[in-house]
Structures are given as structure tokens and as C-alpha cells.
Amino acid sequence: MSTLAGKKAVILGLANDRSIAWGIAQALRAAGAELAFNYLGESLERRVRPLAESLGASIIEPCDVSSDEQIASFFGKVKEKWGGIDILIHSVAFANKTDLSGRFVDTTRDGFRLALDVSAFSLVATAREAEKLMDPAKGGTVITLTYYGSEKVMPGYNVMGVAKAALEASVRYLAHDLGPKKIRVHAISAGPIKTLAAAGGISNFRDFLGQIEQRAPLHENVSPEDVGSLAAYLCQDGARHMTGNVLYVDSGFNIMGA
Ligand code: NAD
């Protein structure tokens, strides 16, 4: 079904074919959306470009979200090529590996600042650019990715849990600010998925996967495609009266108390 035909989507955070952004990109494309992608640095460009081209992307440009200049330049190129956009997918996070093991209490000032800047503030900075490119008559959708470690202690998730808490609160404030322009803002809280960032960065990641199999009501780990299905739904006009939510794709893990 071409429910997103004619819609233009910017996707930030594709690294490879295991990325959550890849599951979302495929779902949006299957629903008829046109796609634009960023990449972080030349080594990722080599992976991102062929994937993006395989989905017919016409915009594939660098953007490090910790740089205001790169954000401005990226969205400037999108504006030049497309004029406007309908969808922003923010699937970006980073923390130093040393801050994703051991004790949270040992997090350094620089490590804290870096994690919060790249993983939370970047949503604010890019949503602001997206707002300028979205038509208030049609509105738009902004979606970011979060994890349950924002709400409950997942040992080892540490500073990223704090960054995700800030990200989820940012979703609510952005939804309030952008609502009058019909721009809807959501976070999808995904269960653990073996991606570059997760498996390579989080020391206890295998435990997170195991807990879903053992304790979640559905006893199955989730995939980027599962996240993509929900993202595509949220971008449709049928979801036009939903905003400011954190929606779970986690086999029900978040409802469990023990
Ligand atoms: P991934 O490694 O495929 O994607 C992370 C992306 O962040 C990469 O494309 C990387 O280039 C990008 N990135 C990091 N620093 C950046 C910067 N300064 N500028 C621009 N881009 C930058 O991993 P993923 O698991 O698909 O992560 C995507 C999102 O999903 C993240 O927000 C992550 O926290 C979230 N998430 C992941 C899981 C999981 O278990 N994999 C679960 C819930 C939420």
C-alpha cells in the first residue's frame, strides 16, 4: 500500500544493513516515501551509499549531528533539492565505550556531555531544521529511537539511559512546541537489537537480549523490520492525532514487574 506516496523522508543514522534506520527506511520506501540519508564519515559512506541507492535515494550527504555547521549544510542541501520534507527519522546515539560498562557513578563530565549532545540534543537541533522544511498546512512527523534503560536501571547502559531519559522528555516538549504546525513527534522504544552501536558498545548487551527471550510476554527478540512497521504507521495520515508518545516495540518487556 502506497500510504506514504509523495512524502519525503530524511533518515539520520543509517550505518549498515543491521541498523534500525535500515528497517525504517525499507518500510517507508515500501509505503511509497522518497528518502534522503546522512552518513557519518567516509568509512560509513562506503556502506551507506549503496544501501541508500538501492532504495532510490536522491540525497546522500554527510552530517555529524554534533556540528551545527554540518546540520545546517545537510538540511540546506535537502532544501535545495526537495524544497520541503514530511518526515524526519532520528536514529542516532553515541557514548564512549568506557561509559557503557562498570559504574554509572564514574561517568566523566566530558563523557556525559558527549552522550547527551549526540544522543539527545541532536533531536532538538534536527527537529528545528525539519520544522523549517515542513509545510504547516500538511504537517509532518518526527520519530526518534529510545530504549527502556531510560526508565529502569539496565546495568551497563549507564549514561545512555540518562541520555534516553532526556531524549524522551525532549519528545514531549517538541510535541508541544511543534503541535500547532501539525508536526507530530514520537519516540519508539525498541527492544535490544544486535546492531553496530548496541553489540559493539554496550558491555551487557547479550544479557539484554536474553532477558527478552526469558521474561518478555512474547519471548522473542525484535527486529529492525518490526520497528519499521510502526514507524511507517506513525508517518501516515491515519496517525494524525497521535503525538508526544513513547511507543514500545519490545515484545511486551516493559510491562513486567518481575
Ligand atoms: P547503528 O550503529 O546502526 O546506528 C547508530 C547510528 O548513529 C550510526 O549510523 C552512527 O553513524 C550514528 N551516529 C553516531 N554518532 C553520530 C554523530 N555524531 N553524527 C551523526 N550520526 C551519528 O545502531 P542502532 O542500534 O540502529 O541505533 C539507532 C538508534 O536506535 C540509536 O538511537 C539507539 O540508541 C537506538 N536503539 C537501539 C537499540 C538496540 O538495541 N540496537 C534499542 C533501542 C534503541
Class of domain 8-252: alpha beta
| Helices first, then strands: H and E counts in the chain | 9, 7
From the list 243, 212, 34, the residue with the least C-alpha distance to 140 is: 243
Distance (Å) from CA 146 to ligand 1 centroid: 10
Q: What are the grid coordinates assigned to 56, written together?
A: 532510490
Per the DSSP assignment, residues forming a β-bridge with 249 are 190
Q: Is-contact 183 135, C-beta < 8 A?
A: no
Does residue 190's CB lie within 6 angstroms of at least one atom of ligand 1? yes
The string of pLDDT tens digits covering residues 162-215 is 999 999 999 999 999 999 999 999 999 999 999 999 998 998 899 999 999 999
Residue 168 phi/psi, 5-degree rounding, is -65, -40
Per domain, the residue ranges of the chain are 8-252
Ligand 1 contacts CB of residue 239 (under 6 A): no
pLDDT at 121: 99
pLDDT of residue 2: 84
Catalytic-labelled residue, pool 39, 148, 157, 248: 157
Q: Is the CB of 209 under 6 A from ligand 1?
A: no
Cβ neighbors of 87 (< 8 A, separation 6 or more) are 4, 7, 8, 9, 10, 28, 33, 140, 141, 142, 143, 235
Q: Looking at residue 203, what is its pLDDT?
A: 87
Instruction: Identify which of 142, 40, 162 has the alpha carbon closest to the alpha carbon of residue 90.
Output: 142
Q: Angle formed by the axes of helices 41-54 and 20-30, to 10°?
A: 30
β-partners of residue 47 are none
Q: Which of 39, 147, 148, 248 is catalytic?
A: 147
- Give pLDDT < 50 ranges for the chain: none
Contacts of 92 (CB under 8 A, 6+ apart): 12, 13, 65, 118, 119, 122
Pocket test for ligand 1, best of 91, 207, 230 (most atoms within 8 A of CB): 91
Whether the CB of 40 sits within 6 Å of ligand 1: yes
Q: Which helix (H) or strand (E) holds 225?
A: helix 224-235
Question: Which atom of ligand 1 approaches the CA of 205 most closely?
Answer: 40
The pLDDT of residue 223 is: 98
Give residue 219's pLDDT.
98
Please tell me the distance between residue 240's alpha carbon and the centre of ligand 1 in angstroms.
26
Which parts of 87-157 fold into alpha helices (H)? 109-116, 122-133
Model pLDDT, residue 192:
98
Is this model's pTM higher than 0.95 or not? yes
pLDDT at 1: 65
**Shortest CA distance to 49 belongs to which of 24, 15, 10, 25?**
15
Rounded to whole angstroms, the Cα distance separating 72 from 88 reads: 15
